[in-house]
Amino acid sequence: MLDEYVRSFQTGALAAHKDGSRHWIKNKGPSVETYIGFIETYRDPTGMRAEWEGFAAMVNGPMSEKFGRLVAAAEKILPRLPWPEAYEKDRFLKPDFTSLDVLAFAGSGVPAGINIPNYDEIRQEEGFKNVSLGNVITAAYTASVLPFLGPEDAELMRQYRTQAFEVQVGLHELFGHGSGKLFAKDKDGKLNFDEKTVKHAETGEPITSFYTPGETYDGVFTDLGSAYEECRAECVGLYLSLDDEVMELFDCRGDTGRLVTYVNWVDNLWDGFAKCLEQYDAAARKFMQAHSRARYVILRVLLEHGDGVVSIEERQDADGRPDLLLTVCRDKIHTAGKKAIGDFLTRLQVYKATADVAAARAMFDHYSEVPDSGLHPFAKWIPIILEKKQPRRFLVQAHTELKGDDVLLRQYESTPEGLIQSFVDRFPDPAIEDRLLELHQKDAKHFP
C-alpha cells in the first residue's frame, strides 16, 4: 500500500493511488488506521479535483463491535431501502467498519465519518471501508446553545444528540455511500442489468441512459456530485433510523430508541436550517459546502411533501428581537415523514443509477432555492440566523513525541492560543517555518 502511495506522490499517477487503495481495503481490522492522498472533492467548484488530506487514528474496540453487527446484518437491511431490488448492487461487499479515535487529521476540515476510497469503480466492484470518527463526534456535538428550538427539543438534543449522530454516521456511511447500483455498459457493449426486465422506477419505461465505458459518477455529475451523494446518504440514515431492528443494533431500544430516532430527525432538520444557511452565499446564489446544501434540500423536501412533519414559524425572543422556531412532529416522522423521504430517496437513486444528470439537476436545483418570499422566506430569515450564530469550535489536535522508549502526548486548550501553540510545537525548526512562509507567499496570488 505504502509503496503504491509513494509511487503516486512521486509521479502523479492516479492508477498507483487506486492500487494503494485496493491494498488498503484488504487490510481488515487493524489497530491503527491511516489513509492519505487527494481524496475529497467538496471544495472544487467543478466537483472533480480533490484536496490533500491524511489521518492517523486508533481503533475504538467497543464502538467498532456495534458497527460490526451493522455490517453483519447489512444483507437483511439493504432490501428495506425504498428503491426496487434491481437498483441495488448485485452483491454487497462487506466492508471493514470501525470507530476511530483520531490522533491527527490533516486537511481543511475534520469529518465525523468517512466512506473511502472515493473511486466508485472500486467501491462498486472491489469494496470499501467505513470509519466513524468517534472523538470528533463527541467534540463537535456538545453545544450548550441551540437556537430556534423549543425548550423540550433543545433538552432532548443535549441528552441524545451524540448518540443520534453516531447512528446517523453509521447508517449514512455504510448504507448511504455503500448502497445503490450504477447501470453501466462495459467496453464490450455488455450491460450490467437486464434491459428486458429492469424498468425506470419513476416512469415504468425501459432504461435508456447509463454509464458508458470510461464514465464515472463524479465525471458525469461534476459540480452536483458531492452535494447530491451526501443528500442521498443522509436520506438513507433518516429512513433507516425509523426501523426498530436497525436501532437495536446500536443498543437503542424501546422508548430510548424512539427518542434517539426523533433527535436524529430534529438534528438533521435543525442543522439544515440553523447551520446550513450560514453557508449560503446570497450574491452567488449557491451553498459553499456540499453537506450544507444536502441537508437544506432535505428540509425543503419535508416542508413541501411531509404533511406538516416539520414547520418553521416567526416569533420574538426574550428581548423582543425577531426569532424563529423549528418544530418537528414526533407522531408524523414514521408516517408522512417516512413516505416523503422514501419517495425522494428513490428519485435520488434512480437518477444516479441511470446517469440522468439533467433530471437530477432539475430536481436538486429546485429544492436548493432560497426564496425571499412565500410561506418560508429563507433569504429573509438568514440575517436572523446569522445574528444567533454561535462561535465556531476549535478542534485543536494533540501531538505525540518520542522520549527514549516512551511516547508523550501533548494536549492543548480549545482556544485560539491553544491552536497557535499547537502549530508552534508542530513546526519547531525555523527552517520549516521559513519553508511554510515561502509556500504561503507562492500561493498568495491564488487567494487575493
Has 387 been annotated as catalytic? no
Tell me which residue of 268, 305, 320, 304 sits closest to 378, measured CA to CA: 304
**Pairing verdict, β 96-106 and 51-60:** antiparallel
338-353 vs 357-368: helix crossing angle, rounded to 10: 140
Amino acid code (one letter) for 64 = S
Residue-wise burial string across 355-367, b where 16 or more C-beta atoms lie within 10 A, e elsewhere: bbbeebbebbeeb
Give the C-alpha separation, 415 to 53, whole Å.
Answer: 23
Question: What count of residues does the chain have?
Answer: 448
The maximal CA–CA distance of the chain, rounded, in angstroms, is 70
Phi/psi-derived region of residue 403, left when phi > 0, alpha when psi is between -120 and 50, beta in every other case = beta
Name the active-site residue from 173, 229, 230, 234: 173
**What is 235-287 written as a DSSP string?**
HHHHHHTT-HHHHHTTT--HHHHHHHHHHHHHHHHHIIIIIGGGGEETTTTEE
Residues marked active site are found at 173
